[in-house]
């Protein structure tokens, strides 16, 4: 634009220069050389003054004319936008008018800038614009910019699943104890918001697999499932189309279901031992679970905490005739033994 303004001004200067020369032809000069030089100087001053005035006038007129032309060009620079474009697909924006302009495609998720030739379509290759969102298209062609908006929608084909599963370790036989939420994304990491079925499957070593299909809402789907009655690792899988994500859930035995101990004499002591401790589904309670043995004799209480080893707990306590001995773990109270038969 600067170049054309300069060129425009030069044209006017050239025309003005010739006009000044034509005016000189009408001034008559006396033959005396001294007078002639004074007249020449005066004539140069007049020439220069006229030249400056005319230059300024013509430049002003030229500038106004140029501004009007720019306005006209800007008005003719319009564009036709698609309403929506699928992420990653090729598309084009048609412009009208003539001359050059700059096209901006702007959004928080992506920004593009292209030099365009008005009147010709501007093509965007597949993948040029791939982040879903609302975009503002701005066409700047010398005058006031032309703005428009369009949406870039996620691709229809799922390519990735974000799968959140909890907990990673859970007791057996818990209703709705395992939950999972899945978000479906396309190849460009756009959240696919059109509803689509997600299948969840929980399968372990024993028993039939649990399976549910949930249709996504706003790109997400969730489910809750029961933990199995047998301990062991379970595979928790979310699947949409041929895309899947797997999480391993460790199912561990639950709380002890019952506790039974036996006692036998061992010198001055009593040797206590539990039977293998199991949960209500018959799974062995893990080693390390603490069993508390309590002996009550003559108003004195003695307590021993023992962790399970190989499924059983063992302890030695003083042998007092008439002592009452009990065992407990968690909320489960075992049998009671009265020593000595008193």
Partner 1 sequence: MTKLLLVCTVFAASLPLRADQAAVRIEPTNLHGPRVLVKQTETAVIQDYLESWQSVDAALGQNRVDLLDRDFVGTAKEKLTDTIQEQTKLGLTTRYQDRSHDIQIVFYSPEGLSIQLIDKVEYDMQLLDHDKVQTTQRVHARYNVVLTPAEVRWRVRVFQADPE
- Counting contacts by CB under 8 A, is residue 218 touching partner 1? yes
Compute the 3-state secondary structure of the chain and give helix, strand, coil in percent, each to the nearest 5: 20, 45, 35
Residue 77 DSSP code: -
Strand partners, 42: none
Q: Which of 5, 98, 179, 289 binds partner 1 (CB under 8 A)?
A: 179
Return the ∠ at Cα 9 (arms to 8 and 15), rounded to 5°.
Answer: 95
Smallest distance from the beta carbon of 56 to partner 1, in angstroms? 14
State the pairing for strand pair 220-225/269-274: unpaired
- Counting contacts by CB under 8 A, is residue 109 touching partner 1? yes
Smallest distance from the beta carbon of 110 to partner 1, in angstroms? 6
- Counting contacts by CB under 8 A, is residue 62 touching partner 1? no
State the pairing for strand pair 290-297/324-329: antiparallel
The stretch near partner 1 (CB under 8 A) out of 19-27, 136-144, 270-278, 293-301 is 136-144
Smallest distance from the beta carbon of 113 to partner 1, in angstroms? 5
**How many residues are given for the chain?**
342
Residue 38 CB coordination number (10 Å): 12
Judged by CB under 8 A, the chain residues 113 through 132 that form the site for partner 1 are 113, 131-132
State the pairing for strand pair 84-86/146-153: parallel
Token digits of residue 33: 């050389």
Cβ closest to partner 1, residue 164 vs residue 312: 164
Question: How far is it, in rounded angstroms, from Cα 16 to Cα 58?
Answer: 8
Cβ closest to partner 1, residue 20 vs residue 159: 159
Cβ closest to partner 1, residue 29 vs residue 224: 224
- For tokens 């975009």, name the residue: 135
Judged by CB under 8 A, the chain residues 26 through 45 that form the site for partner 1 are none
- Counting contacts by CB under 8 A, is residue 260 touching partner 1? no
- Residues engaged in binding partner 1 (CB under 8 A): 64, 67, 84, 102, 104, 106-113, 131-134, 136, 138, 140, 145, 147, 149, 151, 153-154, 164-167, 176, 179-181, 183, 185, 189-191, 193, 217-220, 222, 224
């Amino acid at each position: 634009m600067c170049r054309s303004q300069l060129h425009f001004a030069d044209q006017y200067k050239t025309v003005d220069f010739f006009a000044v020369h034509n005016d000189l032809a009408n001034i008559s000069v006396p033959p005396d050389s001294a007078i002639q030089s004074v007249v020449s100087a005066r004539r140069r001053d007049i020439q220069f003054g006229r030249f400056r005035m005319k230059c300024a006038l013509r430049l002003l007129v030229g500038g106004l004319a140029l501004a009007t032309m720019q306005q006209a060009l800007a008005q003719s620079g319009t564009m036709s936008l698609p309403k929506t474009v699928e992420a990653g697909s090729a598309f084009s924006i048609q412009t009208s008018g003539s001359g050059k302009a700059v096209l901006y495609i702007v959004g928080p998720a992506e920004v593009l800038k292209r030099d365009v030739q008005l009147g010709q379509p501007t093509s965007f290759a597949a993948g040029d614009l791939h982040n879903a969102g609302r975009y503002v298209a701005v066409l700047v062609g010398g005058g006031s910019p032309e703005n428009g908006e369009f949406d870039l929608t996620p691709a229809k084909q799922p390519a990735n699943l974000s799968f959140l599963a909890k907990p990673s370790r859970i007791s057996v036989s818990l209703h709705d104890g395992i939950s999972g939420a899945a978000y479906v994304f396309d190849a460009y990491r756009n959240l696919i918001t059109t509803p689509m079925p997600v299948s969840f499957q929980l399968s372990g070593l024993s028993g039939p697999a649990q399976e549910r299909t949930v249709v996504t809402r706003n790109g997400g789907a969730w489910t809750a499932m029961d933990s199995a009655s047998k301990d062991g690792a379970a595979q928790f899988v979310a699947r949409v189309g041929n895309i899947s994500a797997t999480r391993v859930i460790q199912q561990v035995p639950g709380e002890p279901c019952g506790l039974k101990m036996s006692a036998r004499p061992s010198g001055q002591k009593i040797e206590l031992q539990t039977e293998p401790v199991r949960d209500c589904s018959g799974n062995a309670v893990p080693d390390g679970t603490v069993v508390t043995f309590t002996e009550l004799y003559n108003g004195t209480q003695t307590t021993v905490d023992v962790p399970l080893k190989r499924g059983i707990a063992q302890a030695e306590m003083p042998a007092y005739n008439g002592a009452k001995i009990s065992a407990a773990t968690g909320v489960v109270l075992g049998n009671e033994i009265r020593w000595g038969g008193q």
